[in-house]
A and B are shown apart, each in its own frame.
Chain A
Amino acid sequence: KNQVEQSPQSLIILEGKNCTLQCNYTVSPFSNLRWYKQDTGRGPVSLTIMTFSENTKSNGRYTATLDADTKQSSLHITASQLSDSASYICVVRQNSNSGYALNFGKGTSLLVTP
């Protein structure tokens, strides 16, 4: 069964600190992995996409890594800001054109405090 597991479930950090969110998956065959940010009361918004051949990709203060061999990804947030408080969702796409292809993690809820 295709699964996407995220850890930790929730995280509280001080403004300015760094943090790393984890995503482990068993989706096969693998196509790509996206990290989404979901602000409270809003829809998810894509931060990064990682394909099989990519190890690291940055988007401003967000850096995603992918180890396709161990089926693990991480999202590192540098110098956190209050606006980073949100849920971060790992979405792994199966190598299929089916509408079923997206597999969603439950998300990590991040709270950045002053």
Chain B
Amino acid sequence: NAGVTQTPKFQVLKTGQSMTLQCAQDMNHNSMYWYRQDPGMGLRLIYYSASEGTTDKGEVPNGYNVSRLNKREFSLRLESAAPSQTSVYFCASSATRNMNTEAFFGQGTRLTVV
């Protein structure tokens, strides 16, 4: 009963390096999201995918790209990491964009950029 699985759980990058955060859900959900959580701030939406084959920018998309590889998987890529991208990243999914549908979150990826 995995739900939303994120890899890796921890990562340290040097400024300018690239990496991809992986997310997979096994609940047959249509919608998937990437958020970042910083100290003293609420979760902020980076990108989302309302359904397979579509992606849209959220509140803080600069410096990131995403790929909805298939219905299960939604990856987040940092092309050239910056210290400002040090954060905890959460992937979430929901059955639909229906307003009462619950979003389920992964355990998070703690990323440090030095």
Residues of chain A touching chain B, judged by Cβ–Cβ distance below 8 Å, are 4, 31-32, 34, 41-46, 49, 51, 89, 93, 95-107
CB pair A99–B56 under 8 Å, yes or no, is yes
CB pair B45–A100 under 8 Å, yes or no, is yes
Contact of B43 among A32, A41, A104 (CB under 8 A): A104
Contact of B102 among A31, A34, A98 (CB under 8 A): A34
Residues of A contacting B100 in the complex (Cβ-Cβ under 8 angstroms): 31-32, 49, 51
Residues of A contacting B108 in the complex (Cβ-Cβ under 8 angstroms): 41-43
Bound together, the chains give a CA A104 to CA B60 distance in angstroms of 14
Residues of B contacting A89 in the complex (Cβ-Cβ under 8 angstroms): 42-43
Contact of B97 among A32, A45, A97, A103 (CB under 8 A): A97
**The 10 A-B residue pairs with the shortest CB-CB distance in the complex, in nearest-first order:** A43-B105, A104-B42, A99-B48, A104-B43, A97-B97, A31-B99, A106-B42, A44-B105, A46-B102, A43-B107
> Main secondary structure on chain B at its contact with chain A?
loop
A36 to chain B, nearest CB (A): 8
- Closest chain A residue, CB of each to CB of B50: A99
Interface centre among A34, A43, A96 (most CB of B within 10 A): A43
Q: What are 7 of the A-B contact pairs (CB < 8 Å)?
A: A32-B100, A43-B4, A43-B105, A43-B108, A93-B99, A102-B45, A104-B44
Given A4-B42, A41-B107, A97-B56 contact (CB < 8 Å): no
Residues of B contacting A99 in the complex (Cβ-Cβ under 8 angstroms): 31, 33, 45, 48, 50, 56, 58, 97
Bound together, the chains give a CA A52 to CA B44 distance in angstroms of 24
Residue interface mask B18-57, A partner, CB < 8 A = 1: 0000000000000101000000111111001010000010
Interface centre among A32, A103, A106 (most CB of B within 10 A): A106
- Closest chain A residue, CB of each to CB of B40: A106
Task: Supply 20 further A-B pairs (C-beta < 8 A) apart from A31-B99, A97-B97, A99-B48.
Answer: A42-B107, A43-B4, A43-B105, A43-B106, A44-B43, A51-B100, A97-B50, A97-B99, A98-B97, A99-B31, A99-B45, A99-B58, A99-B97, A100-B45, A101-B99, A102-B45, A102-B103, A105-B42, A106-B40, A106-B41
